[in-house]
Structure 1
Amino acid sequence: MHPLISVEANPDIPQDMKKIISMTDEVSYMENNQVKNIFSDFPFVFPESTPSGKIVREAVSKQIYTADVEAPAGCESCFVMFKMSFHPNWKVTVDGQEAEKSVVFPFYLAVPITEGFHTVEFSYHPNNLKVWLIVFEIILIIGFLFRKQIVSLLNKRNTV
């Protein structure tokens, strides 16, 4: 949970907020009938960090990343985040089954998991269009070079 910040005069504040501060101006707030400065007195309260999982084993090849991960008990909304830019051509499997991938800030790839041990694999499968474009480009370059050679030979023949 992060601090809730509102610039409204009378904001709707959730009931489960542990601490509420009311700003009196741009830098001051009231607490226990005392005016405090938001920069010198840190008013925010952060909860305990959520339990983190562990990477037990990982393997990296050209376009595949595989990891055995352990998610802690009681993890209701755990995600494995892969710090690689999201692209629709990424395929994700969890324990050999294709999984739904998500985009997480700042545009990384993530997949939800349940508690326990899991094998997660992220693999990139490029679009076939790129392969065809490269083949076409190579053919085009060879064609231009071949044409240049023919024109050069014809020019030599015409000058003789």
Structure 2
Amino acid sequence: MTAQIHVPSLLSRAGAVSALTLAAVGGTMLAPGVTSEAQAATAHAGKALSVAAAKKGSPYRYGASGPTRFDCSGLTLYSYKKAGKSLPRTAQQQYNKTRHISSSSRQKGDLVFFHSGGRVYHVGIYAGNNKIWHSPKTGSWVKLDRIWSSRVSYGRVR
């Protein structure tokens, strides 16, 4: 007597086993053309970083949020708005709205918040290699600088 194999049943079992194996090792299964939340966040962050870099040399102006002059939070607000995400106006409000992450988890495009006395006084966009794009102060302009303080935290725009 020979065993008969029902092909659709075998394939569905194989598919279920593959899906379970993938889930067990931490993977995800997505339909073609569908992106994960993390991939979408990374795309927005990359776009915001590019927008900020394109504003290199734009003069600082207190309270300005573009398109030609910026203060620190105005630059982050403008950059993320162009990337399709909304942020509140001030550095402290932006800190309150982002998902806080560790320095070891930071990625290009994440926000870098500078703290003093329990408040956030400055924000920039992480560019990699311990550098940020920011609009620092009166008499200055949008530029790429090294992170100069250890009193920083990181936030990811959702």
**Which of structures 1 and 2 has the larger relative contact order (alpha carbons within 8 angstroms, sep 6+)?**
2
Larger Rg: 1
Provide TM-score, normalisation by structure 2.
0.23
